[in-house]
Structure 1
């Protein structure tokens, strides 16, 4: 799993361990938080590992995937969760920031998935691959012109990967969280007026918690999912449909 030290990634990693999975998480700077996730996974009686990876540097993507496969002794589930969204006006986004967001949110995941899928195919593993996309794949954001295209790209990748890997029994899907309170948007949501507005945009009257994403993710990754592939599951508290 990429981006497994905090937020949605942490919640899914621990959820997988509760269901009996050994887990290897990637992290970039949150070493303390990653170690805490590993301890929690091990406390559930499962094996837990952490591997540092800077996904902005594409040269680190393949070694990261290979290291996780080696530590676990094989992989049958992949969750691509890592993502960044440094909120910035369109005219202030320079090439370096654009490339960094594209690398972390999309290109590194392409390369990591390629390694893991090749392992699955070569070992006859009828695995599950999940991309953590976003409601932003469907709607825009004033300060997210570098971010929203990466989430649309993940969904497009899912469509083609489902076709490429389906003959091998590998199911590929994406999960699209709505506004989930995590480190990625905590500062943005510190504006109480904006937070209240975002809460009212949902039909449930609240923003999401990382734990809200665990159930949908576990279904898509589980053996109970036998026929769902190439699709996106929107889990947004009814935000997208709430026009008025």
Structure 2
């Protein structure tokens, strides 16, 4: 019960890594609020799963690309659950596309969701933590793509590098307030973002063959690392980045 008595807020919490983090936190004693955009059914089932664990839960619809959503989510979650101790920035998109004919709207939407959304969400959560006066933990879901390129991800990889960099700078800016800021860098995790790309058996087998642990990741593989960074076990960890990739990055050569 590493998060007993804590309250966690998670963006993009209706599915994938966000949902795994939300439910994982509840298993460790946290009350959880999630933000989501499209999946009403997924959000409702996530809330039900958290409540079945004996914890309080709250869900709020909103597009993280709109800066107003940040304050709305934090304010509504605190009104429902009382406080914010942990903030997990997870919401993100990756519409795969070639570089030379990248549509402007695809590039800009990816930037607004992944990077601008992270900035304003983290800022809103941090302001609330500062006002509360008892510190906190912010964890951002970056990606192995912050460290390596991708032919069809020229719009996506810069956003994930930016999220990682944001956590480094925020760690400096917020350390005096007792707020720790860290990122997790997932490898290839089976989520809605890449399910179509990995539907090709040959592509999937190739990806699995590059991973020392021999399999693609599941959303639940991120729950433990996120809970750890959110917990008091990591009370002297800030500005750090934790690879959660089955060893893919060290095997790239």
In which range does the TM-score fall when normalised by the shorter chain? over 0.9
Match of 2:220 in 1: 211
CA contact (8 A) 1:58 1:103 kept: no
* Whole-Å separation in 2 of the counterparts to 1:71 and 1:100: 30
Deviation at 1:56, TM superposition (A): 2.7
Give the conservation status (yes or no) of the 8 Å contact 1:22–1:46. Answer: yes
> Is the 1:199–1:207 Cα contact (8 Å) retained in structure 2?
yes
Give the whole-Å Cα distance in 2 for the aligned partners of 1:63 and 1:56. Answer: 13
- Please point out which of 2, 11, 33 is paired with 2:11: 2
SS of the residue corresponding to residue 214 of structure 1 reads helix
Q: Distance in 1 between matches of 2:81 and 2:125?
A: 12
Output aligned runs, 1:1-244, within 5 Å.
Answer: 1-243=10-252
Q: For residue 237 of structure 1, give the secondary structure of its aligned residue in structure 2.
A: coil
TM-score computed with the length of structure 1 as normaliser: 0.97
Aligned mates of 1:130, 1:45 — CA distance in 2: 24
Consecutive unaligned residues of structure 2, counting only runs of 5 or more, are 1-9
CA contact (8 A) 2:70 2:124 kept: no
Tell me the distance in 2 between the aligned counterparts of 1:145 and 1:170.
32
- CA-to-aligned-CA distance 1:96-147 (integer Å, 9 cap, x gap): 2111111111111211111111111111122000000000000111110010
Alignment coverage as a number of residue pairs: 244
Q: Secondary structure at the match of 1:158?
A: helix
The whole-number CA distance in structure 2 between the counterparts of 1:96 and 1:65 is 28
